[in-house]
Amino acid sequence: MKARLNSDEYVAGLITGNRVILAKAITLAESKLPEDQELIEEVLEKILPYTGNSLRIGITGIPGVGKSTFIEVFGKYLIQNHHKKIAVLTVDPSSRLTQGSILGDKTRMEELSKNPLAFIRPSASGEALGGITHKTREAILLCEAAGFDLILIETVGIGQSETAVKNTADVFLLLMLAGAGDELQGIKKGIMEMADVLAITKADGDNSKRATEAQADYQHALHLLRPDESGWRPKVLTCSALSGTGIEEIWNTISDYIKLQHKTGLLQQKRQQQEIHWLHECFNNLIKTKLSDDKQLSILFQNSEYRVRNRELSAPHAARFILKEFIATLKAD
């Protein structure tokens, strides 16, 4: 394959489900080069009619909770029993990427990664957490155009990523450990409340009883919440990727949630809000890049920070001045 494809070649490859082109397109989306960004924008524009038909499931939990093991089993179950084509996008802000793969990630989801109906891709999260949604969104659309009808977005729960998942997925599945204590898991009440479905993992062997107890505790805590507009209250389940128990129930619960969201029109509303959120994010990113790429503006910013820090200048005044200079630069371009 020649090194650089044009947008039509990307589109043709994507809509025929060419995985090499899909992987290349995601890399293109992650590139910071202006010419790559222009090209991927063209591709995204052209594939829009082929997107939006998947179910996007966000899966979050602390490291070690069993995310990759769960996804391996859940993915295989969905392929075998529901004839789904699954794309897994893993977003791990704490991992370093080496040429498109997370270090130590080779052994993760080994069987699923060999399945022709699955596509696994670690997403480059880059430096900013805010960037997660941006690139992941593009990856989702590319996967959808390539015919994947279930997109699993895996993130590590560290506070901000939950919000990013909420802004990206149709349903949010939070995986938790029994007996680890909320604080240990970094799970604040707000995060639990954000989840639509919660599952206590590793409910097998000696851990079964603890998992059931934790399920009851969490369900009780969440029962005090007001249901969302559709009448849904987060459900707490248990599962074991090792024995396979609870996997089907998780899928059924997710399906129930989606059906309800669909019926009440909330799913469409959520997606529209996510699109708008994406627009704002793209715009903010463009401005940020423009600011940091322009040497004079960068210097002005640094000087302003210095003067604001030393109380020589008020922040609102400095901000307005930078904006004026920024507009002047844009006009001069």
* Binding stretches for ligand GDP (CB under 6 A): 61, 63-69, 201-202, 204, 240-242
* Shortest distance (Å) from residue 135 CB to ligand GDP: 20
Whether 28 contacts 40, CB under 8 Å:
yes
Query: Which is nearer to ligand GDP, 40 or 214 (by Cβ)?
Result: 214
* Shortest distance (Å) from residue 175 CB to ligand GDP: 7
Would you state the structure tokens that stand for residue 8, as one six-digit string? 């039509």
Whether 295 contacts 277, CB under 8 Å:
no
Query: Which is nearer to ligand GDP, 194 or 242 (by Cβ)?
Result: 242
Strands 197-200 and 101-102: unpaired
Query: Which is nearer to ligand GDP, 47 or 195 (by Cβ)?
Result: 195
Write out the E strands in the chain. 55-61, 86-91, 97-98, 101-102, 118-123, 150-156, 171-176, 197-200, 235-238
Query: Which is nearer to ligand GDP, 21 or 120 (by Cβ)?
Result: 120
Give helix 130-145 / helix 7-15 axis angle, nearest 10°.
Answer: 70
The count of C-alpha atoms lying within 13 angstroms of the C-alpha of 328, restricted to the half-sphere facing its C-beta, is 8
* Shortest distance (Å) from residue 120 CB to ligand GDP: 13
Residue (of 154, 168, 130) closest to 282 by Cα position? 130
Query: Which is nearer to ligand GDP, 145 or 239 (by Cβ)?
Result: 239
* Shortest distance (Å) from residue 86 CB to ligand GDP: 16
* Shortest distance (Å) from residue 220 CB to ligand GDP: 24
